[in-house]
Structure 1
């Protein structure tokens, strides 16, 4: 799998498949035909060198190569954001940009796709569904309490695959649903 990275000054990259080290002296993206492993001269408390393995961030959507890269990008942007609540305005824009790119790869009638998943779904037309969410359950010790009532949202499915489903709400909100593994 090829990778593209931008080097700020110079960086030595070594493949986990060989002992070869490739020095990079560039300020433009460099395509590498092997997995990337970067060793940084950073020491932790136990005086061991820390390694970053296969971690590449691509902020320019023009450098993404297809839906798999876009799905990984959107999931990394929304992960651990408390349902998107902790995203800044700029981060919301980045997520929306990736969602627009992913929409180009959506199947024709996403609601008929066998990959559709999640809660109670009611098909409204070829792109729109109504999702009914169960009320949240509060667990205290061995006791469970339902908290509130069912809620629902109408979503236009803009992308679906075996990992995620993207939906745009009737008021413009973006929903990113990830399939449980």
Structure 2
């Protein structure tokens, strides 16, 4: 079993699925609405009433495209192109200074990556998926600056495992953040250990609302996150 252990690859790649930043809040949605009223960019969108629902339509279309795709693995090149187009459209509706938007906080499922093997490495490749079944990829953003990534998987369908990372978020500008992660922690069966050293990643927030968050890594990979408490 040691020959197929995923730990080094997961550790090196899981950090690419994190982004966020901001300030604490008790009622994110209410603060977000008032934030939109103060934002010129959002006001311009609201002025054209027929376009108000367009972000919702795009969000639903994007989710319908990626949710059954094994986080992008099953999509064709044309499908990835269409996803990228929808991401660009939604980016036009992003609030100003998204790092300050309280809606970034919460628990998020990673539902898509334009480079499907990026969050997980070789174990997410065609060969790796024969041995490892990804059960969930989750990112938790806690105010004011904590990021937690978690990948749960099973080996050959009967050995459960989990890799987790905890990091501190630093705001670089209105859209870009940097996350510095501590050593990854691994759980495979009854075994628990830490592996490797610190790592860091820079990410851009492209869009955020009550249901979805979009981001782009420093190497250009696109990520789609869906909020976990949205049915």
TM-score bin, normalised by smaller chain? 0.5 to 0.7
Secondary structure at 1:115 match in 2: helix
More helix as a share of residues = 2
More strand as a share of residues = 1
Q: Distance in 2 between matches of 1:75 and 1:133?
A: 29
Q: CA deviation at 1:152?
A: 4.0
Q: Distance in 2 between matches of 1:122 and 1:165?
A: 18
Q: CA deviation at 1:174?
A: 0.4
Q: CA deviation at 1:124?
A: 1.3
Secondary structure at 1:71 match in 2: helix
TM-score by length of 2: 0.44
Q: CA deviation at 1:77?
A: 1.5
Call closer, same or farther: CA 1:138–1:123 in 2, change over 3 Å: same
Q: Distance in 2 between matches of 1:148 and 1:82?
A: 27
Deviations along 1:133-161, one digit per CA (max 9) or x if unpaired, are 67364442xx2535755654311111011
Q: CA deviation at 1:103?
A: 0.6
TM-score by length of 1: 0.55
1:166 corresponds to 2:154:
no
1:102 corresponds to 2:150:
no
Gaps of 5+ in 1: 1-64
Residue number in structure 1 paired with 2:103: 115
Call closer, same or farther: CA 1:138–1:124 in 2, change over 3 Å: same
Call closer, same or farther: CA 1:74–1:144 in 2, change over 3 Å: farther
Alignment equivalent of 2:204, drawn from 148, 153, 156:
156
Q: How does 1:85-100 map to 2 (within 5 A)?
A: 85-100=73-88
Q: CA deviation at 1:126?
A: 0.6
Please identify the structure whose Cα radius of gyration is greater: 1
Contact residue 138 and residue 147 of structure 1 kept, 8 A: no
Gaps of 5+ in 2: 1-52, 106-140, 142-146, 148-166
Deviations along 1:56-109, one digit per CA (max 9) or x if unpaired, are xxxxxxxxx511111111112121323222221111101101101101110010
Call closer, same or farther: CA 1:77–1:148 in 2, change over 3 Å: farther
Call closer, same or farther: CA 1:139–1:72 in 2, change over 3 Å: farther
Alignment equivalent of 1:78, drawn from 66, 81, 90:
66
Q: CA deviation at 1:180?
A: 1.7
How many residues align structurally?
116
Call closer, same or farther: CA 1:73–1:152 in 2, change over 3 Å: farther
Call closer, same or farther: CA 1:124–1:69 in 2, change over 3 Å: same
